[in-house]
Amino acid sequence: MFDTTRLHYVDGLVTGPIPEWGRFYLELGAKLADEVCEGTLWRVALAVPTRSFCASLVATGFVAARVMASSSTEDAHLHALRGLQIGHEVSLARNGRRLKGKWRGFRQDCLTGEEFGVQVHSRASDGKSYWYPVARADRVRIMDADSVALPKSTRGKSVPSESVFARALLERDEVTTGRVCTVVLGRITLLHHELVDSTFCLAENATCRGSLNDIVRARRFVPQGERATSDVFAVRRPKARTPGRAGESTLAILDGCSTLVRLRDVWRQKSWVAVLDRTDRRFWEAVETVNAECVRRRSDHKLELSSRLPHGVELVTWQVGAH
C-alpha cells in the first residue's frame, strides 16, 4: 500500500493532508485487497456520520493495493516470455497503440544488454522488428494462438495515457491491473464529484495533481476504449442488478443504506462493503439487514487494521462461505 500521508487534498489555494478517517478508509480497502480471494466472501459494514468519500476512498485503497501487488508478478511474466516459442502471437504497446505481432525472442546488445523483440507489420515497413530492454517486458502481452500470419497493415488501438499523479503516488510505471477488480454502486453524481471533480496532490509536490479516478479508473469515467480497473453503477439502473457486467471484480462497494437493502442479495456472490450513513432515513432498516446477514457468517475472523477506528465510525466484519 502506498504511504497515505503523501496524499493531500486541494481546496482552492489550500492544500493539506487527508484526515485520519480518510486514511482509515484507504487502509480498509488495501486490507481487503489482500484478504479477498476465491472461496471466501467478506462482509464489511461501516456505520459512518456521513457517507462522503467513504466508498470512493475504500475503492481507491483496494485498487491501489491490487495495482502494487500486480507488480510482483513481473518476474513470472518475464519467465513466461522466456518459455515462448519464436513466432507465437503477442501484442506490443508502442507509441500509444497496441499492435499485433510475432514473438522474436531475446538477444544480447553490447550497449543495452539483454533485449526482447516483436515483429509487426506496418504500412511503413514490411515485418519490422522492435527490440526493447527486458525491463520493458510489460509492453508485451501473450496471445492465445501459437502463431499468427501478420496482416498487411497493423494500425493498433489506443491504450490509456496513464496519469503522472497516479504513477508518482503509487511509484509504479504501470498503474492499471488490466481487469476490473471492484465495482461501486451508488449515486453517480456524488461518486463523480468525489472520484473525478475533487483534486488531490502529493505532499512533497503540490503541483503534481490529479483525482482519485486516476487510480480507480472507473469505466464510466474514463474515455471510451481505455482500460478500466473498476466500474460505477447507478443503484436504480439495470446494470446494478447484473453482477455479470462487473467481469472479474471480486469486491462490490454498496454506497448507502438503500443500496444495501436493495442489492445485497443480487451481489451475494461477491465480497461486499456496505456504507451506512447515520443520517439516512433507511439507516435502521439497513442495520437490521446487517444483523440478519451476520447470522449467516462462517467465522468470526476479523480484519486486522493498524489504523485506529475514527470517532463516530462503527465497523463490523465477518466471513461467509462461497455459494
Instruction: Provide the percentage of residues in the chain whose pLDDT is more than 90.
Output: 46
State residue 112's pLDDT score.
72
Q: Give strand pairing partners of 230.
A: 182, 218
3-state SS assignment for residue 309? coil
Name the H helices within the chain: 20-35, 54-70, 74-82, 164-170, 188-192, 213-216, 257-263, 283-294
CA distance 227 to 28: 25
Q: Tell me the mean pLDDT in the region 52-81.
A: 83
State residue 159's pLDDT score.
47
Set out the domains of the chain in order of their start, with CATH numbers. Answer: 4-72+161-321 (no CATH), 86-145 (2.40.10)
pLDDT-derived band at 147, boundaries 50, 70, 90: very low
Contact 272, 253 (CB under 8 A): yes
Q: Tell me the mean pLDDT in the region 163-183.
A: 82
Q: Tell me: the pLDDT tens digits for 301-318?
A: 778 888 889 999 999 998
Average pLDDT, the chain: 84
| CA 50 vs CA 20, 54, 103, 202, 311: distances in Å | 14, 8, 53, 25, 12
> What are the residues whose beta carbons fall under 8 Å from the beta carbon of 190, sequence distance 6 or more?
51, 255
State residue 252's pLDDT score.
94
Q: Tell me the mean pLDDT in the region 117-139.
A: 78
What is the DSSP code (8-state) at residue 299?
Answer: B
Q: Tell me the mean pLDDT in the region 31-39.
A: 81
CA angle, residues 199, 200, 206, in degrees to nearest 5: 115
From the list 192, 176, 155, 182, the residue with the least C-alpha distance to 226 is 176
**Cell digits of residue 306:** 493498524
- Per-residue pLDDT at 93 exceeds 70: yes
Extended beta strands in the chain, E state: 7-11, 14-17, 40-48, 89-94, 97-109, 113-120, 128-133, 140-142, 157-158, 182-186, 199-202, 205-210, 230-234, 251-255, 271-277, 314-321
Instruction: Provide the percentage of residues in the chain whose pLDDT is more than 70.
Output: 83
The predicted model scores a pTM of 0.74
CA distance 164 to 168: 6
Q: Tell me the mean pLDDT in the region 163-185.
A: 84
Higher per-residue pLDDT: 85 or 299: 85
State residue 162's pLDDT score.
61
